[in-house]
Amino acid sequence: MATALAATNHVALADLKGKVDPDWCPGCGDFGVLAAVQKALVDLQIPNHNVVTISGIGCSSNFPGFINTYGMHTLHGRALAVATGVKLANHDLTVLVTGGDGDGFGIGGNHFVHSMRRNVDVLYIVMDNQIYGLTTGQTSPTSRVGMKTKSMPFGNVEAPVNPISLALAAGATFVARGFSAEQKHLTELIKQGIRHKGFSFLDVFSPCVTYNHDNTYQWFRPRIKKLEDDGTYDPADWMAAMGKSLLWGDEIPIGKFFERTDVPALQDAEPVLNAGPLIHADPRIPAEVGRAFVEELM
């Protein structure tokens, strides 16, 4: 049976199981994100050898090791830059970028903003736990004001970033938020993000059960409200998306905030890629082109 399945290239969940099991803390929100990504790839029937999962550094950035696709576990904050290079060298690949809030909005903030305005065609999933986990509990760029951590023991006095508003302002063409405990909803958002041609940003509430005692599953559950449940919400309306992004308190929206399809993805905006992925190009420049380059100098 397995042979028959391989022959028809059917993608099964078992194909996506990584070489090692995740070593996240029991109850970590990241388990739910991993499961949803695997489910989405099965639903979309994308063979694992055509997927590259790229991360930076942090608890959630261990993700590529726990899924059987091509993986890159890069430097802290640099996953999006690496991913842009991968995608532009071979735009036939499905590129997933995974990481945490410190990695993406802190040390990687510069690349985050510029990757969005570039509209590079990747899905960026941030497992946002509003804390630094792997370094044992310091304030993150999304930690709330007043939150007490080892680095701010008297409470955070700095305002957090709003990743959704920031993504909208930076020109992301797909902006969504999920919750790791909402598996079906999250899987659907991941599938939409992969299908979207351009930069897809998916911020996922992924609670840290060890270091963040404020933003727990119990804290999120009564607050989250799916945008999809509001029949009047139009994700093509940027102003409405910006308005929704500012909601934080008793009601916290999750779901697809915004999507536009009229902006070409970076690979489609660059004529150099018209002939197909660069990895298939002849490394040699045609002799007459080389001669013309030299002729310019004479």
Partner 1 sequence: MKKTFAVGIGGAAGQGVATPGDIFAKIFSRRGLHLNAYNAYQSIIRGGHTFLTIRTGPEKVTNMGDRLDLLIPLNQDAMDRHLGLLTEGAACLYNADTIKPGIAAAGVELCPLPVSELADISRNKVAQNTLAVGAGLSMMGIGFQAVEEVLGEQFKKKGEAVVSENAGIARAGYDYATAHFNPFAWPLPMTGKRHAVLSGNIAMAMGGAAAGVKFYCAYPMSPSTGVLHWMAAHARKAGIMVRQVEDEIGVVNMAIGAAHAGVRSMCATSGGGFALMSEGLGLSAMMETPVVVIDCQRAGPSTGVPTKTEQGDLWQMLGAAFGDYPRVLAAPLDIGDCFKIIPEIFNIADRFQCPGIVLCDLLLSEGRLSVDPQDLDFAPVIDRGELITEASSSGANGDGAYKRYKITDSGVSPRAIPGLLGHTHTAASDEHDEDGVLISDEFTNPTKRRAMMEKRMRKVAGIEASVPPPELWGPRDAAVTLIGWGSTKGVIEEACEILIEQGISANQLQIRWLVPLHGEAILDILKGARHTIIVENNYSGQFARYLRSETSFVPDGYIRKYDGEPFMPHHIVEAVKEQLSGKSTLSVPAHEILV
Provide the binding-site residues for partner 1, judged by CB under 8 A: 6, 15, 19-20, 23, 47-50, 52-54, 57, 62, 64-65, 68-75, 78, 81-90, 92-93, 110-111, 113-114, 270-273, 275, 278-279, 281, 283-285, 287, 289-294, 297-298
| 3-class secondary structure, 20 | coil
What DSSP assignment string belongs to 188-254?
Answer: HHHHHHHHSSS-EEEEEE---TTT-SSS-HHHHTTTEEEGGG-TT--TT-HHHHHHHHT--SS-EEE
* Identity of the residue, 110 or 151, whose beta carbon is nearer to partner 1 in the bound complex: 110
Q: Which residue has the tokens 């842009």?
A: 84
| 3-class secondary structure, 8 | coil
Q: How far is the CB of 19 from partner 1 (least distance, A)?
A: 5
Tell me how far apart the alpha carbons of residues 106 and 138 are, in angstroms, rounded to a whole number: 12
* Identity of the residue, 14 or 246, whose beta carbon is nearer to partner 1 in the bound complex: 14
Q: How far is the CB of 11 from partner 1 (least distance, A)?
A: 9
* Identity of the residue, 70 or 238, whose beta carbon is nearer to partner 1 in the bound complex: 70
Q: How far is the CB of 163 from partner 1 (least distance, A)?
A: 18
Tell me how far apart the alpha carbons of residues 5 and 10 are, in angstroms, rounded to a whole number: 5
Contact between residue 147 and residue 167 where contact means Cβ atoms under 8 Å apart: no
Q: How far is the CB of 184 from partner 1 (least distance, A)?
A: 26
* Identity of the residue, 126 or 241, whose beta carbon is nearer to partner 1 in the bound complex: 126
Q: How far is the CB of 15 from partner 1 (least distance, A)?
A: 6
Q: How far is the CB of 51 from partner 1 (least distance, A)?
A: 8
Q: How far is the CB of 78 from partner 1 (least distance, A)?
A: 4
* Identity of the residue, 119 or 149, whose beta carbon is nearer to partner 1 in the bound complex: 119
* Identity of the residue, 68 or 142, whose beta carbon is nearer to partner 1 in the bound complex: 68
* Identity of the residue, 49 or 213, whose beta carbon is nearer to partner 1 in the bound complex: 49
Q: Torsion angle of alpha carbons 124, 128, 131, 135, nearest 10°?
A: -40
Tell me how far apart the alpha carbons of residues 133 and 139 are, in angstroms, rounded to a whole number: 10
Tell me how far apart the alpha carbons of residues 103 and 89 are, in angstroms, rounded to a whole number: 24
Token pair for 84: 């842009």
